[in-house]
Amino acid sequence: MKPELELVLFDCDGTLTNSLHGAMDSFLHGFRAVGADEIRQEEIIAWYGIAADKIFQRLLPHRPDLAASGFEAFLEHQRSQVHTVTLHAGMAEILQSLDAGAIPMGVVTGRHRSDLHIMFEHFGLHSYFEVIVTDDQVSKPKPSPEGLLKALDHGAWIADRAVYIGDSASDILAAKAINMAAIAVCWDDHADVDALRRAKPSALVSSAAELKQALVQLGASIGS
């Protein structure tokens, strides 16, 4: 019999939330606010996976003052447009089912904690998660497993009885680096399905129903 899962960890953007389009609008607003209109979307996307404050620092390396001001403008815009963000279809029900099954949940994300708080406060998500690890709490972004290890340490959980759910190859590789099961979700417009397949996740799913089935197969005791 497969052992029951002790912990279910989620990525945020592209996994729980349909938020990457809105984030780009906020980045462009932030760069415009400090007169850096020349920064292109492609340059921003190239740094996706680390927190917004670090992206401003990378793209304005010689102006830390402008980077800090740009990040504050980014956060202001995130607050103003959070109502346009949605949870991906079925994810509210997945969270409710896991909660009903008394399975601890957590989030390991490349977002900055201030940025994540804006969204989670809007959706009322904080109460679902026993542990949240954001990019400003780690020294290395995914595919480094540092964030996952911090989450495990929080509750003395073990990797082979946990699963990480994410929408990028770096999510999958981070989990596999510590022998944690990894479920790849490909419902977001930004998901690179070929890259996800190459990362060889434990399962590749395209709907909340498929995710629930994959979790059960991995040993999740999910409430109705």
Give me the residue spans of the domains in the chain. 7-19+86-217, 20-83
**What is the three-state SS of the chain?**
CCCCCCEEEECCECCCEECHHHHHHHHHHHHHHCCCCCCCHHHHHCCECECHHHHHHHHCCCCHHHHHHHHHHHHHHHHHHHHHCEECCCHHHHHHHHHHCCCCEEEECCCCHHHHHHHHHHHCCHHHCCEEECHHHCCCCCCCCHHHHHHHHHHCCCHHHEEEEECCHHHHHHHHCCCCEEEEECCCCCCCHHHHHHCCCCEEECCHHHHHHHHHHCCCCCCC
Q: What is the pLDDT of residue 4?
A: 82
- What CATH number should be reported for the domain whose range is 20-83? 1.10.150
Q: Which residues contact residue 40 at a Cβ distance below 8 angstroms, ignoring those fewer than 6 apart? A: none
pTM, to two decimals: 0.94
What crossing angle do the helices spanning 64-81 and 113-123 adopt, rounded to 10°? 10
Q: What is the pLDDT of residue 3?
A: 67
Q: What is the pLDDT of residue 174?
A: 98
Q: What is the pLDDT of residue 223?
A: 59
Class of domain 7-19+86-217: alpha beta
What pLDDT digit, counting tens, does each position of 159-204 carry? 999 999 999 999 999 999 999 999 999 999 989 999 999 999 999 9
**Residue numbers of the chain with a pLDDT score lower than 50:** 1
Q: What is the pLDDT of residue 2?
A: 59
